[in-house]
Amino acid sequence: METRAQPAGRPTLVTRNVIGGAPRDAADRYERRNPANRDDVVSTAPLTPEADLREACARAREAQRSWARVPAPQRAGVLGRLAALLRERKEALSRFVAREVGKPLREARGSVQEAIDTAEFFQSEGRRLYGQTVPSELPMKELFTYRRPIGVVGVITAGNFPIAVPSWKIIPALLCGNSVVWKPSDDAPGTAALFAELWERAGLPAGVLSVVHGRGGGCAGEHLANQADAGLLDKISFTGSTAVGRRIGEICGRNLQVPSLELGGKNPLVILADADLELAVEGALWASFGTAGQRCTSAGNLIVDRRVLPTVRDLLVQRASALVIGDPLDEGVDYGPMINQRFLERWIEQRTIGVDEGAEPLLDGRRIAPDAAPAGFRGDAARGLYAAPRIFDRVRMSMRVAQEECFGPTVNLVEVDGLEEAIAAANGTPYGLSSAIYTRDAGAMLRFKEEIRAGMTSVNNSTTGAEAHLPFGGNGWSGNGTRESGIWVLDSYTRWQAVNVDLAGKLQKAQIDLAEASADGAPPWPDLA
Ligand code: UN1
């Protein structure tokens, strides 16, 4: 892989597209800068023109045919080698992820581990990938089901989990015998190039995974989605905003394809009056401010019973004020910078919206400036995109700040009276990704699990931190009901084939050539003619 020295600091990774197994540059390129230090060019990448995207999809079609013929346990062998390579390079990759997207090193290690877990899970799945044997209603006839690959899958991913989330899609898609054209986030082209390189070293045949860099709207991301209209893609798997997810859903819908859409969230975390408040506040703090609030599973609304709200409020403000913000490579920080300028601006704008609506900022939550850094700040405020924690009090569910997703270190306190109101508030947004409840009451746990509309629910744990082998995904504006991870994702990357084998040597007609059941001894049926 090519690198370029910088006058000061670490080298820049110069990435290329990988199309049909060969590196490819483009006339236009862009730079990705370290969000903790805008002087550091972490990587550069091509801005892929549409013609190259089309070619990538066409080449992926050719590669898919032979890849699907490789027995599944052998395809899974590539995943075993990938897991081993990721493990060997976990520290170096984690450091690069921290530098490229600003994730604290501890979390960056966790996100690389999530990809390792996923590769290991699906390595073993390659020896199952079960179909069924089904009894036939006719003699000398056998029925079977098989999982078959879908074809060419377009994968479009976000920058906040630049290895983990792509691995949730690419690993099962390839295991199932599909080929993939991947448009990684323009916030993480270097991480994507390193991940793609490991696939190659793991022995994935050329052309089965293509990587095409660039921006989203009007650029490579949009061009890739449009290939479904051109008949060059059979499926799209997307993680990102609800607005873009809708557009992708429309393209897929008119082509009668089912996309996998993992979209936004406005995740509720409920604290009931009987909860262990220390534990609840620790969970709320991690859910709201971990990763600087830039997870689709981050908590947006803390829905707190009025009896314990004063205690929760005090504890939360006290703990959030003590959070250490700074350089993600510093092992001691709680959170690092915002991933990009756009997220930072949206988060700043959301403060004005909240204040105008009457929300009361208990912690003000502004961009950290060199002359006004919070105590204990450990970054370079002049060069980094840092944000101080924001807590809004007196938020009602009807307010925009309670309804709209905001990627950033911000959380709302919503007062409720008892379980009924808590569940109503938790279900009171159009989203439905993750959710959490803190209580010691088994009955309340059960009611919450049954009535919450979210796809994922934690009891006495935070809204984030889903494990790699449970179904991940949401309802409503959070997705179209497809799930990633574990055995459930196999349904997203395969189609069921039903096969019947007739050994009777004569035509047998289903539903017709059946022996009549005897009705001996039954009373006569009335003549209705
Ligand atoms: C995301 O933010 O897109 O559950 C994924 C979690 C992580 C994945 C988040 N395992 O918070």
Q: How confident is residue 526, by pLDDT bands cut at 50, 70 and 90?
A: confident
DSSP state, 477?
A: G
What CATH code is assigned to 267-468?
3.40.309.10
Ligand 1 pocket mutation, candidates 238, 472, 478, criterion most atoms within 8 A of CB: 472
Among 381, 288, 369, CA closest to 327: 381
**Pocket lining: 242 vs ligand 1, CB cutoff 6 Å:** no
Note the pLDDT of residue 529: 78
Pairing of strands 22-24, 133-135: unpaired
Atom of ligand 1 nearest to the CA of 298: 11
Is any atom of ligand 1 closer than 6 Å to the C-beta of 64?
Answer: no
From the CA of 362, how far away is ligand 1's center (Å)? Answer: 27
Average pLDDT, whole number, for the chain? 97
In the sheet that 17-19 helps form, which strands lie side by side, from edge to edge? Answer: 22-24, 17-19, 209-211, 179-183, 152-156, 235-239, 260-262
Quick one: how far is CA 27 from the chain centroid?
31
Ligand 1: centre distance to CA 207 (Å): 29
pLDDT of res. 517: 63
In the predicted structure, residue 162 carries a pLDDT above the cut 80: yes
Domain ranges of the chain: 13-263+483-494, 267-468
Q: Rounded mean pLDDT of 171-181?
A: 98
Is the beta carbon of 466 within 6 A of some atom in ligand 1? yes
Token pair of 241, please? 């905003």
Q: 133-135 and 141-149 as β-strands: parallel, antiparallel, unpaired?
A: antiparallel
**Is it the case that residue 518 has pLDDT exceeding 80?**
no
Number of C-beta neighbours around residue 500 at 10 A: 13
CA distance 302 to 415: 8
Average pLDDT over residues 265-291: 98
Q: Which atom of ligand 1 is nearest to the CA of 467?
A: 10
Contact (CB, 8 A) for 149 and 494 = yes
Picking from 106-120, 277-291, 321-335, 513-527, which range would have the lowest pLDDT averaged per residue?
A: 513-527
Half-sphere exposure of 295 (CA within 13 A, CB side): 27
Instruction: Return the SS3 of 496.
Output: strand
pLDDT over 80 (residue 521): no
The predicted-structure confidence for 234-267, as pLDDT tens digits, reads as follows 999 999 999 999 999 999 999 999 999 999 999 9
Helices (H), 141-270: 164-175, 189-201, 220-226, 242-254
**Sign of the torsion formed by the C-alpha atoms of 12, 347, 241 and 455:** positive
Q: Please work out whether the CB of residue 160 comes within 6 Å of at least one atom of ligand 1.
A: yes
Instruction: Reply yes or no on whether the pLDDT at 25 is more than 70.
Output: yes
What is the pLDDT averaged over residues 499-504? 98
Output DSSP code: residue 227: T
- Provide the pLDDT for residue 188: 98
CB neighbours of residue 14 within 10 Å: 19
% of the chain at pLDDT higher than 70? 99
Angle, CA of 194, 200 and 204, to the nearest 5°: 140
List Cα–Cα distances, 468 to 77, 91, 123, 179, 194, in angstroms.
19, 20, 13, 22, 21
Our CA angle for 454, 458, 463, nearest 5°, is 75
pLDDT digit string, tens, across residues 359-387: 999 999 999 999 989 989 999 999 999 99
Nearest CA to ligand 1 atom 3: 296
SS3 content of the chain, % helix, strand, coil (to 5): 35, 20, 40
Q: What is the pLDDT of residue 322?
A: 97
Which of the four pLDDT bands, split at 50, 70 and 90, describes residue 1? confident
**Would the CB of 295 count as within 6 Å of ligand 1?**
yes
Pocket test for ligand 1, best of 244, 289, 464 (most atoms within 8 A of CB): 464
Closest CA to 184 of 157, 221, 148, 144: 157
Nearest to 388 by CA among 412, 403, 356, 410: 410
Residue 185 pLDDT exceeds 80: yes
Residue 524 has pLDDT above 90, yes or no: no
Mark out the alpha helices in 322-461 (DSSP H runs).
341-357, 400-403, 418-426, 442-451
User: Taking Cα atoms as reference points, which of 289, 283, 281 lies closest to residue 308?
Assistant: 281
* C-beta 298 within 6 A of ligand 1: no
CATH superfamily of the 13-263+483-494 domain: Aldehyde Dehydrogenase; Chain A, domain 1 (3.40.605.10)
What is the position in ligand 1's atom list of the atom closest to the CA of 468?
10
**Residues 186, 30 contacting (CB under 8 angstroms):** yes
Positions marked catalytic: 262, 296
Sorting pLDDT into bands at 50, 70 and 90, what band is 8?
Answer: confident
Q: Binning pLDDT at 50, 70 and 90, where does residue 354 land?
A: very high
Ligand 1 centroid – CA 165 distance (Å)? 8
In this predicted structure, the answer to whether residue 118 has a pLDDT above a threshold of 70 is yes
| Average pLDDT over every residue of 318-342 | 97
Determine the average pLDDT of the residues in 84-105.
98
Q: Report the pLDDT averaged over residues 460-465.
A: 97
CA of 274 to the centre of ligand 1 (A): 28
Between 517 and 510, name the one with better pLDDT.
510
How large is the average pLDDT for residues 433-452? 98
C-beta 296 within 6 A of ligand 1? yes
The Å distance, Cα 347 to ligand 1 centre, comes to 19
Q: Is the per-residue pLDDT at 515 higher than 90?
A: no
3-state SS class at 138: coil
Q: Give the Cα separation of 76 and 89 in Å (integer).
A: 20
Ligand 1 centroid to 152 CA: how many Å? 25
Tokens 């060199």, located at residue = 370
- Strand 267-271 relative to strand 434-438: parallel, antiparallel, unpaired? parallel
Q: Order of strands across the sheet with 2-4?
A: 2-4, 12-14, 37-46, 29-34
pLDDT average, residue stretch 443-451: 98
